[in-house]
Amino acid sequence: MTSRLWGARFTSEPSDAMANLSASVHFDWVLAPFDIAQSKAHARVLNGAGLLDASELHLMHFGLDQLREQVLNGFFVATPEDEDVHTALERGLIEIIGGAVGGKLRAGRSRNDQVATDLRMYLRNSARVVASELVEVQNALLAQASAHVDHAAPGFTHLQHAQPVSFGHELAKHIHAFSRDVERFIDWDKRAAKSPMGSGALAGSSLDLDPVAVASDLGFDGVVENSIDGVSDRDFVAEFLFITALVGVHLSRLGEEICLWSSREFGWATLDDAWSTGSSIMPQKKNPDVAELARGKSGRLIGHVTAMLTVLKGLPFAYNRDLQEDKESSIDAIETLLLVLPAMAGTVSTLKFDVDKMLKSAPEGFALATDIAEWVVKQGVPFREAHEIAGACVRAAEAQGTDLDELSDQQFAEIHPSLTPAVREVLTVQGSLDARSTINGTAPASVRVQLANAQVRLGQLHDWAKVTPHDV
Ligand code: ARG
């Protein structure tokens, strides 16, 4: 007997090519545990509506629990004839408990509300798994940042030396980007936490079901308010994919820095052997493949959000089969991040930094020119003029091929009378760093407070990630 959930009105079997195109069971199988949990909740409301008596409910739950075991231990698998996960699981249930009771489960629900509910459950759980791995990357960054608060490095704009910064400050910027990503998941989750069950195919159900009870059984905060929207809405997928794309973009920027820092030209960072690869022809090579793959995989993550939005654009309501395209992209986004994030955490935590080299190059490129300008401003000179005075110092130092602090007292005085020898107090890297003591600035004392705050925030994000809305 076919497991197909439809077909009575057809006189011939589907063609092979049509069945191949239609099948989703080879990828939507990840939804199986969620589908079974949903079926248990649905059986309860069928019982509440008088459509399953107590012994039937008991048998149904027994069958679904057995099926869950068999799915998890691989005893029950989908066959190519099963169109999708929902079809396969109905077949499995009927194989265990028979059609007299197993055949009653489908009353009052459609695969349209079923799949929308399963996908919300799967993504809500996955958001937490991804967030936990993200927090691990942040912890690795935090440990490195804390170890390098007092180490100065060149800071860049336009990839040119700009001003010296604390290297701990430099590393910690990535923590903040990733914290916003986890916060985006938390905010997204509020909208995703609405159950589409009860929407049926599109119009709701005439059976006396209780969608609110199903929703709370499955860890949702409530029910979608419009059944037509409930089965057609994939905003929650598009938003989820935007967040994963942005995580990818943030990983790519971190990856790019690791590539630069570990290059011979920079020579700031050495990759641990366990987190780098060699070349098949050049024996000396040690390549930053984790950082490069993180950078490269952002491409597919961006592709997924673009694909989802394109599927949704102009799509008529309510359910259309186009919507089946929502799953492969989300599954791949999750699997991609679960590959990249642990590797990135390992790479970051084992990087060794050459702090002497960073310190030596911190003032290079006249990176203390802004310090001269701001010091002159403190002497009462307008900044417009101070900027020109500092520029004249750069010109003079450049002309004689020295750094700014090698200009003589006389040269400073000739450039501008406000430039007394006391200016030398800001012409050191340490003085420059310490002076930037705003709440968000690079002074080591400020950075220490920033890191302590970041750590508290990481604890909160970790706490969110470890509570699953519904265990399956
Ligand atoms: N496999 C389908 C999907 O993922 C399930 C819904 C099918 N609904 C239908 N009316 N054919 O979208």
The structure tokens listed for 340 are 């990249």
pLDDT tens for 92-110 read: 999 999 999 999 999 999 9
446 is catalytic: no
Q: Which pLDDT score is estimated for 446? A: 98
pLDDT tens for 327-336 read: 999 999 999 9
Q: Which pLDDT score is estimated for 35? A: 98
Q: Which pLDDT score is estimated for 280? A: 77
Q: Which pLDDT score is estimated for 4? A: 75
The structure tokens listed for 312 are 């949704």
Q: Which residues 6+ apart lie within 8 Å of 351 measured at CB?
A: 144, 258, 261, 262, 269, 270, 271, 272
Residue 87 in contact with ligand 1 by CB distance below 6 A: no
402 CA to middle of ligand 1, Å? 71
Distance CA 397, CA 415 (A): 12
Residue 24 in contact with ligand 1 by CB distance below 6 A: yes
Cβ(186)–Cβ(463) below 8 Å: no
The rounded average pLDDT for each run of 10 residues, N- to C-terminus, in the chain (472 residues) is 72 85 94 98 97 98 98 94 94 97 95 98 98 98 98 96 96 98 98 97 93 97 98 98 98 98 96 85 83 98 98 97 97 98 98 97 90 93 95 95 93 94 92 94 98 98 96 84
CA atoms within 13 Å, Cβ hemisphere of 62: 11
73 CA to middle of ligand 1, Å? 26
Residue 323 in contact with ligand 1 by CB distance below 6 A: yes
Distance CA 13, CA 11 (A): 7
361 is catalytic: no
Q: Which pLDDT score is estimated for 387? A: 96
The catalytically annotated residue of 279, 432, 446, 462 is: 279
The catalytically annotated residue of 158, 232, 252, 330 is: 158
Distance CA 348, CA 363 (A): 26
Question: What pTM was computed for the model?
Answer: 0.94
Q: Which residue has the tokens 């002074």?
A: 443
Distance CA 196, CA 117 (A): 6
Q: Which pLDDT score is estimated for 409? A: 95
24 CA to middle of ligand 1, Å? 9
68 CA to middle of ligand 1, Å? 21
Distance CA 280, CA 199 (A): 57
Q: Which pLDDT score is estimated for 426? A: 87
Q: Which pLDDT score is estimated for 279? A: 74
